[in-house]
């Protein structure tokens, strides 16, 4: 993966936050941060952006080469799609002038991500390490630990935000990482082995392009992914396999391909504009030769 360290702007604040440009740099920063490089992140819904897009104040543009996302049309004929941390915002110059004249700013992007709490190495909100403490209220809820978006499993949070006035700057996206997987006084001797699909978005993009455009097989795609680890030592390979951010098992790769296949076919069936391939019979060619 390309090194974007020189593009990270470290802020002199108590939060130890950074500012980064929109695009692949934000994902690179999260993937290589010491607290997050061996972890899987989940996310809540992104706030403020959709409303401002509806008003025509800002627009969202996908990073070049992005193919791993889903789009759908609501009952009100509104087009929506899944969010990615790399996708960026455009800005409305008129609103920017109004804000500057009134000296008032507002958020146009607020997104919370959090550690999934895989394995038994994260301290939960109730205080238990890897498992809830006896009598934990959250574990007693019918939808508690079975809830996919349960934030009880770890205290690490990733907060990203953008204000309207920062959209004209080179590093508009502010990222703050809060909390720890375990108390700082506790020595962590092992890293969790991620069991769920955890590939980075740029890796997933490459895989889906290899399938859709190049028609590569699973074996060929796996070989392509392994190229980035050529010459790596045993520890590096072990870490890559545990985190599954740049490489994954054959089963996970097949699941991703099958999921994309289904999503691609579903979108084609739901679309009012379908595309067909027309072919001519051999008899037609023979008659008109």
Q: Is residue 30 part of a domain?
A: yes
Residues 202 and 161 in one domain: no
What pLDDT score was predicted for residue 18?
A: 97
Q: Report how many domains make up the chain.
A: 2
Q: Is residue 289 part of a domain?
A: no
Residues 158 and 182 in one domain: yes
What pLDDT score was predicted for residue 53?
A: 79
Residues 26 and 156 in one domain: yes
Residues 97 and 201 in one domain: no
Residues 173 and 211 in one domain: no
Per-residue pLDDT of 7-50, as tens digits, reads 999 999 999 999 999 888 999 999 999 999 889 999 988 888 88
pTM equals 0.76
Give CA–CA dist 86/67, Å, rounded: 12
What pLDDT score was predicted for residue 13?
A: 92
Residues 203 and 180 in one domain: no
Q: Is residue 285 part of a domain?
A: no
Residues 27 and 150 in one domain: yes
Residues 104 and 234 in one domain: no
Residues 118 and 176 in one domain: yes
Per-residue pLDDT of 125-155, as tens digits, reads 889 988 888 888 877 776 666 666 778 889 9
Q: Is residue 287 part of a domain?
A: no
Residues 9 and 54 in one domain: yes
What pLDDT score was predicted for residue 159?
A: 96
Whether 171 and 19 have beta carbons less than 8 Å apart is answered as yes
Residues 179 and 221 in one domain: no
What residues of the chain score a pLDDT lower than 70? 1-2, 70-72, 79-104, 142-148, 189, 266-289
Q: Is residue 281 part of a domain?
A: no
What pLDDT score was predicted for residue 111?
A: 92
What pLDDT score was predicted for residue 185?
A: 82
What pLDDT score was predicted for residue 233?
A: 81
Query: Of 192, 225, 253, which closes a domain?
Result: 192
Residues 116 and 207 in one domain: no
Region for 115 from its dihedrals, namely left if φ exceeds 0, alpha if ψ lies in -120 to 50, beta otherwise: beta
Q: Is residue 277 part of a domain?
A: no
Q: Is residue 286 part of a domain?
A: no
Domain of residue 246 covers 195-272
Q: Is residue 282 part of a domain?
A: no
Query: Of 192, 221, 246, which closes a domain?
Result: 192
Query: Of 192, 209, 226, which closes a domain?
Result: 192
């Amino acid at each position: 993966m390309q090194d974007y360290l020189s593009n990270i702007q470290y802020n002199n604040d108590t939060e130890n936050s950074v500012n980064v440009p929109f695009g692949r740099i934000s994902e690179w920063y999260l993937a290589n941060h010491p607290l997050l490089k061996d972890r899987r992140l989940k996310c809540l819904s992104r706030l403020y952006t959709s409303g401002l897009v509806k008003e025509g104040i800002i627009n969202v543009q996908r990073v070049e080469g992005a193919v791993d996302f889903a789009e759908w049309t609501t009952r009100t004929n509104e087009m929506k799609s899944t969010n990615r941390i790399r996708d960026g915002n455009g800005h409305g110059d008129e609103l920017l002038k109004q804000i500057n004249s009134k000296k008032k700013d507002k958020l146009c992007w607020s997104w919370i991500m959090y550690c999934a709490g895989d394995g038994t190495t994260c301290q939960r909100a109730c205080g238990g390490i890897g498992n809830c403490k006896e009598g934990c209220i959250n574990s007693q809820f019918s939808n508690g630990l079975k809830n996919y978006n349960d934030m009880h499993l770890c205290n690490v949070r990733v907060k990203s935000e953008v204000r309207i006035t920062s959209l004209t700057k080179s590093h508009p996206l502010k990222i703050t990482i809060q909390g720890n997987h375990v108390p700082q006084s506790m020595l962590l001797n092992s890293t969790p082995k991620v069991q769920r699909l955890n590939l980075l978005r740029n890796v997933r993009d490459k895989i889906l392009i290899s399938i859709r455009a190049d028609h590569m097989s699973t074996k060929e795609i796996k070989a392509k992914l392994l190229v980035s680890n050529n010459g790596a030592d045993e520890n590096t390979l072990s870490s890559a396999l545990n985190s599954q951010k740049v490489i994954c098992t054959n089963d996970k790769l097949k699941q991703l391909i099958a999921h994309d296949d289904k999503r691609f076919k579903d979108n084609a069936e739901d679309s009012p504009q379908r595309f067909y391939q027309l072919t001519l019979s051999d008899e037609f060619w023979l008659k008109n030769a």
